[in-house]
Amino acid sequence: MTAACSYCSGTIIDGVCEDCGKPAKAVSLIAAGTGGIDAVPPPLPDTTTTGRTRSSTRFTINYPTRGTGKNATRPTRRRAGISTHTSTRRNALGGGLISLPDLPSQDPLKLLMATPEVPTRKRHCPKCDAQVNRSKGFCPACGTPYDFEPHLKPGDVIAGKYEVKGAIAFGGLGWIYLGFDQILSRWVVLKGLLNANDEASAAAAVAERRYLAAVKHPKIVGIYDFVNHGAEGFIIMEYVGGQTVHSLRKARGPLPVAEAIAYILGILPAFSYLHSQGLVYCDFKPDNVMIEGGDVKLIDMGAVRKIGDPDGDIYATVGFAAPEADSEPIAVSDLYTLGRALAVLIMEFKFTSAYEHALPSPDEFDVLAQNESLYRFLLRATHVDPDERFQNADEMAEQLFGVLREIVALQTGPKPADSKVFTGDRLRDVSVEELVAKPAPLCLPSLRVNLEDRAANEVIRVLSLMDIAQQVKEFQALVIKYGDRATEPRLRLVEVLIGNEWSSAEERAAIITETLDALEAADPFDWRPSWFRGLWQVVQGDGAQAMTLFERCYFEMPGELAPRLAMGVAAEVAGQLEQALPYYDRVGQVDPAYVSAHLGAARCHAKAGRLHDAVAVLGRVPDNHALHALTQLVIGETLLAYPALVDSSLLQRADAAVSQALAAGGHAYEVAARLLSLVVSRIRDFTWPGGATFLGVPFAETPLRLGAEEQFRRAAHEAGSESERFYWISQANRVRPVTLF
């Protein structure tokens, strides 16, 4: 009976889920070009940049700063936040968002080198790293013997069953040969030592034999065997055909962004598995990803080492390796190389020299300027400080999937998806007039409760209470009960206080500030207090300060829509409408269910005098959305807020929108009545199709007045107070036609 994966319910094969790729249970840098079955192609060429300075970016990025006080010490990342797991549907190459053509497997014999020879630039002494010119001899600098000549020839049989066909590449640990398993009738790859007299390389090979045979994952090349042949040892590996991502990039130039992301996203489960086994890959680059059969596979395990191994050799490639990788590569060092590889796949830049540990700016490359979330993703993935990077492969994959979703949505249409971190849009109890006039910060998505928090169950129970005072009381009790052992009670205490008036304004503000200060002191790397502090600031009208706080959240979560929506709200509150508009617009294009994004974009357009654009944005709300009828009224209300900008085409759009909403009554009567009154006052300014009606009445002054009167009286009938009823009746009397009786 097969076991089911605890993450996605997929089938466990050889200790690994065949669906999601997760396990069943839970440098002095060597010269560029180290290692790899496909190590023959030269490094990607560097090109000259545009010459624009990196400081003149098209948008501002504020890195989070921690421990910068006078006597502060630099904190170390203690990862907090929401645990996420990648869903099964994302495991196909492209995450189910894009389709990539399958690359056929290559004929293995076509890979054979006609004349196996190590290029002079790759000949270095195994001891002192001095360059040597001959293929075999003694180092002129230190006297160490070296040998770069292949020791196996076609026809040799290793271990009685592996027939050598020839050399196919030369990597950092030596020659790589194509072989054929005569017993099991399958192609294999034999990876040998760099030099039979090199003790470090020999030790690395022994380490591979000791633990790499246990590595089993569908996205990692299989290790079949480890054999001796005379004085040398060889690793016998699975043969993987297809084409490396490096060769694809070399042939085509910079790849389309979505395609490049698909390859990196596809290989991330392999790193999640390796890290869960206490292993670090060390030397990732596009050479080491093979595309075959509609999927990708990690090849060349020669540089893999145990995390924290003080005696393990370190192999890495200049331009891809993390700054700390020369002394102690760790899991986040691998994630750094993945970020660098993605940057190299989409841009031509001097990644081995001028930008060895930096990225070009959006001013230098349109691909970055057009995809801010991608740029922010790369900034975090390749941050020089390991504590500022993504802290595990699953987290990185989750955010990269969000970035890919956004990019694909802009090309092919909306790509809505549920977030594991935030709730959806929370528009509630806001009048149509308020939606047209200003943003509603309290309607921003909320953080989901972290179910791994030890107080999660109690927090969920308290959130279900209807009495706000009781909620505050019980959350305060949970804070005392759990202290620093749980974060959720403090976060939810702040959330309730921000969203509701409670006690005195001074006491409310004091509790919010003190609680958030305590959370940040307990874990400077937890971005969630910044979310609530930003929400508190924007509720108080300080949009500029809120933007800085929400940007911290965007830095940590570049694949999430909620931080961008929050930045749009903060920018609008700060009066920076043209800065708010791109955030609103991008969120609405990716997921039209975020109605507050459409409303925000419409407000920005309308306040800038672009009423046609405002109405067009409001038209993006899906017909089947629960708030569709509300947004139809917002179209009418927007025209009423800017009457001088209304023309005939806008009036026709309002006619269609408000007519749909009239069947539901309520506020629709008020909007319809006021629109009819507007037309009456400016009837000579509009041209109307002959015989066509406006909100159900003929387009002539008397019928329009009668129609307005009727709608005002309907509004009065549904008024919520006596004063409101009298107001609508007075408006009906004012607009009705003048008669003799």
Structure tokens at 617: 């944005």
Residue 138: strand pairing partners:
145
Query: How many other C-beta atoms lie within 10 A of the C-beta of residue 421?
Result: 23
Q: Counting Cβ atoms within 10 Å, is residue 66 exposed (0-12), middle (13-18) or buried (19+)?
A: middle
Residues 6 or more apart from 421 whose CB is under 8 A from it?
Answer: 81, 82, 84, 447, 448, 557, 560, 562
Helix and strand counts by DSSP (H, E) for the chain: 23, 17
Q: Locate all alpha helices (DSSP H) within 277-351, ordered by sequence.
A: 331-346
Measured between alpha carbons, how far is residue 584 from residues 119, 400, 413, 590 in Å?
A: 54, 20, 16, 10
487 within 8 A of 526, measured Cβ to Cβ: yes
Which among 19, 38, 283, 394 is annotated as catalytic? 283
243 within 8 A of 225, measured Cβ to Cβ: no
Sign of CA dihedral 488, 490, 493, 497: negative
Sign of CA dihedral 492, 496, 497, 499: positive
Residue 591 CB-half CA count within 13 A: 22
pLDDT of residue 680: 95
Distance, in Å, from the CA atom of 474 to the CA atom of 461, rounded to the nearest integer, reads 10
DSSP string, 93-110: TTTTT---PPPPPPPGGG
Name the residue with tokens 């009823």: 725
Radius of gyration of the chain (CA): 32
Which SS3 state, helix, strand or coil, does residue 192 take? coil
Give phi and psi for 644, each to the nearest 5. Answer: -70, -20
Q: Which amino acid is at 511?
A: I
Exposure string over 210-226, b if 16+ CB within 10 A, otherwise e: eebeebebbbbbbbbbb
If you ran DSSP here, which 8-state letter would residue 135 be given? S
Weakly modelled stretches of the chain, pLDDT under 50: 1, 7-8, 14, 16, 19-57, 69-71, 78-83, 85-88, 194-195
- Tell which residue, 261, 281, 453, 271, has the closest CA to residue 375: 261
pLDDT of residue 87: 47
Opening angle at CA 669, ends 664 and 672, nearest 5 = 115
Structure tokens at 342: 């993605």
The structural domains of the chain, ordered by start, are 27-68+242-412 (1.10.510.10), 108-238 (3.30.200.20), 646-741 (1.25.40.10)
571 within 8 A of 539, measured Cβ to Cβ: no
Q: Which amino acid is at 534?
A: G
Measured between alpha carbons, how far is residue 171 from residues 31, 35, 513 in Å?
A: 11, 4, 57
Tallying the residues shown for the chain, one arrives at: 741
Strands 289-292 and 136-138: unpaired
Name the residue with tokens 């079955």: 37
Distance, in Å, from the CA atom of 247 to the CA atom of 718, rounded to the nearest integer, reads 70
Measured between alpha carbons, how far is residue 433 from residues 199, 628, 630, 654 in Å?
A: 78, 16, 11, 16
Beta strands in 265-410 (DSSP E): 279-280, 289-292, 295-298, 305-306
Instruction: Give, to the nearest 10 degrees, the angle between helix 257-276 and helix 393-412.
Output: 160
What's this model's pTM, rounded to 2 decimal places?
Answer: 0.85
- Give the DSSP H/E element, type plus range, for residue 679: helix 667-681
Give phi and psi for 232, each to the nearest 5. Answer: -115, 160
Query: How many other C-beta atoms lie within 10 A of the C-beta of residue 465?
Result: 14
pLDDT of residue 51: 30
Work out the end-to-end distance of the chain between its first and last CA atoms, rounded to an integer number of angstroms: 90
523 as an active site residue: the answer is: no
Residues 6 or more apart from 144 whose CB is under 8 A from it?
Answer: 125, 126, 127, 128, 138, 197
pLDDT of residue 23: 47
Which SS3 state, helix, strand or coil, does residue 260 take? helix
Distance, in Å, from the CA atom of 22 to the CA atom of 14, rounded to the nearest integer, reads 11
Model confidence over 131-189: pLDDT tens digits? 898 889 999 999 888 888 898 999 999 999 999 999 998 876 678 999 999 999 999 99
pLDDT of residue 40: 32
